Structures are given as structure tokens and as C-alpha cells.
Amino acid sequence: MLDPLLIVELGVLGLATGFLAGLLGIGGGMLLVPFMTYILGGQQVAPDLAVKMAIATSMATIMFTSVSSVRAHHKRGAVRWDIVKRLAPGIVLGGFIASLGVFALLKGSFLAIFFALFVSFSATQMFLDKKPAPTRQMPGGGGQVAAGGVIGFLSGLVGAGGGFVSVPFMTWCNVPIHNAVATSAALGFPIALANVVGYVLGGQSVAGLPTASLGYVWLPALAVIATCSVLTAPLGAKAAHSLPVKQLKRVFASLLFGLAAYMLWKGIAAL
């Protein structure tokens, strides 16, 4: 049984990440991973394993938040389903390769540092708000499958729904920010599903997992966070359509900078 205070903490975290999933199209993973790393450390999970479990559990919650937020975006006609169909095959393949193969081989400290550096780069690109060439468009079918593979692979290494890559990529290709956020939310489900299957299979024989774990996924936290996050994801999606483009990008970038700094500190401390 979880401590009542821990249940409250996980519930608040779920409410916050659900709102951010709808608002920014990032699946909540950028917020969940640092906090879940801290919480699992308090449950006496080894630091290296805590990072991996935080990434896997975060990804599992995205299966629920993405469905909730994308329904709200779809009602507004904001999801570019043509892009979803082309990116999804590559996303599934890239995510499965990352979560089942590469993830198990890497140390948690390396994953934490990689998380911090890559997210910082993504945040910088968003914060600078560079304008893409007006003639640039989304690549063809093959190019989008390849881009999906990169998005799925990177998402599997850091436990996020891919929005930190797919939103900047789509805006770079002149997809309007609100459409990019909505489409990223729709991509969250195939990203999460492919990666979670890999985390569960890859973590079957790992020692030191806490009770009620399914591979690297900590089920009690998943249940609480997912239940709460689906309540607020539609509210975030609604707010996303009322904010100006530049403000939305700055909110996205500022959030990522703070979380990247925390995970960099955790990764260096674990070396």
C-alpha cells in the first residue's frame, strides 16, 4: 500500500502533467521524469534504477493523457491526421528499438545527462523562436517515416511523448504551432505504446525493482497519475487554443530549461 501522502503527491503530479500534456503536446513526460526520479529515490530504489523506472513509468502514463488531450484537440479540428499517419510507423519502430534494446544497455546516469542536454537544445530552439524558411514544408512520405523513427527513438531514451522533438520539427516545417501541439498529442499514443512494450519486456529480469512493478514500470504510480491526468488534459488542450503563438513557445521552453537542469544535476551526481 502506498503512503497516503505519497498518493496525494502523485495525484497532484498527475493533475499538473495532464494539463501540460494538453497545453504543450509533450505528454507530461518532461515534468514526470524528474519528479518520479525523486519519488522513487525516496522509496529506496537505487539511483541508477530510479532514473530508468521514472522514464518507463512516465511513458506509460502518456498512453492515457494522449488519448484524453487529443480528443479535445480533435474537436477543434487542430490535429493533422495526415502527418500522424506518416510519422507513426517510424515512431513505433524507433521507440521499440530504443526501449527494448538500447535502454537496457545504458546506465541511468547517462540517460539522465542525455535527457538534460537534448532537452536543453530543444528548449533553446523554441525559445529563440527562429522563423523557418517560408517555402519549407513537411518532407515526403519516406522523410516523415525517417523523422518518426528519430522521434520514437529519442522519446524512448528520455521517457517523453515526443513533443520536445515533434513540435519543433513541425513548426520548422511551417506547421502552425497550435496544429503542431495537437498533432504531437496524437502521436503520443503510438510512441508510448511501442516504448512501454519494450520497457516491460526489457525489465523482466532486472534486480532491485520495487513491489508491484511490471518490468521497469511502477504500477501504483501509473494508476494514480493516469487517473488524475486524464481529468486535466482536456483543460490544457482548451487553453492551448487561446494562447498566442510566441507565449506558448516561451512557456514550453522555460519549462524544459528548469527540468533539464535538475536531471543534469542528478546524472552528474550518479556518476
CA gap 92, 57 in Å, rounded? 18
How many residues comprise the chain? 271
| Amino acid 28: pLDDT | 65
**C-alpha dist (Å) from residue 172 to 25, 89, 97, 122:** 16, 21, 26, 12
| Amino acid 99: pLDDT | 86
As given in the structure block, the three cell numbers for residue 171 are: 513548426
| Amino acid 220: pLDDT | 93
**C-alpha dist (Å) from residue 19 to 87, 215, 225:** 24, 27, 12
As given in the structure block, the three cell numbers for residue 248 are: 506558448
Class of residue 174 by CB neighbours under 10 A (exposed 0-12, middle 13-18, buried 19+): middle
Q: Which residues contact 11 (CB under 8 A, 6 or more apart)?
A: 224, 225, 227, 228
pLDDT tens digits, one per residue of 37-95: 889 988 888 888 988 999 899 889 888 878 877 888 888 888 999 999 999 999 999 98
The reported pTM is: 0.81
| Amino acid 101: pLDDT | 75
| Amino acid 26: pLDDT | 63
Q: Crossing angle for the helix pair 219-240 and 29-42, nearest 10 degrees? A: 150
Residue ranges for the chain with pLDDT beneath 50: none
| Amino acid 33: pLDDT | 83
